[in-house]
């Protein structure tokens, strides 16, 4: 059986134990079941036991160009007459 790649940022907080279908929490070393492919138990664990940890990934690819570093690459795109700025770190 091949293992599927974990796409959720939730997996930054757990290590996968493939044999037991459980994930080990990196903060308290608890083992949480993810049998059936669901992340629900993992989310519930973080929300109830480690509520100070944010599960919302921080997006850093869109920034305000007025605050940007002059060494970053910038592009300007126009959509429906509205000018939008996008800076991508190089």
Residue 43 sits in the same domain as residue 14: yes
Report whether pLDDT(5) > 80: no
Domain with 78 in it: 60-90
Residue 76 sits in the same domain as residue 44: no
What is the rounded average pLDDT of the residues 7-26?
A: 89
Q: pLDDT: is 37 or 81 the higher one?
A: 37
CA-closest candidate to residue 25, choices 44, 6, 1: 44
Identify the three-state secondary structure at position 43.
Answer: helix
Report whether pLDDT(13) > 90: yes
Residue 40 sits in the same domain as residue 65: no
Q: Please, which pLDDT band fits residue 23 given cuts at 50, 70 and 90?
A: very high
Please give the mean pLDDT across all residues of the chain: 74
- pLDDT (tens digit, 9 = 90+) per residue, 37-71? 888 999 999 999 998 988 876 655 555 555 555 55
Tally the domains of the chain: 2
55 domain-assigned: no
Residue 15 sits in the same domain as residue 43: yes
Residue 41 sits in the same domain as residue 70: no
Cβ atoms of 23 and 14 within 8 Å: the answer is: yes
pLDDT, residue 50, reads: 93
54 domain-assigned: no
CA-closest candidate to residue 88, choices 64, 61, 69: 61
């Amino acid at each position: 059986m091949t293992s599927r790649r974990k796409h959720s940022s939730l997996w930054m907080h757990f290590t996968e134990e493939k044999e037991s279908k459980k994930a080990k929490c990196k903060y308290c070393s608890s083992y949480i079941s993810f049998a059936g492919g669901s992340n629900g138990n993992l989310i519930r664990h973080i929300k109830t036991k480690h509520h100070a940890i944010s599960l919302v990934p921080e997006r850093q690819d869109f920034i305000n160009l007025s605050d940007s570093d002059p060494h970053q690459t910038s592009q300007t795109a126009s959509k429906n007459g509205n000018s939008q700025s996008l800076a991508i770190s190089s």
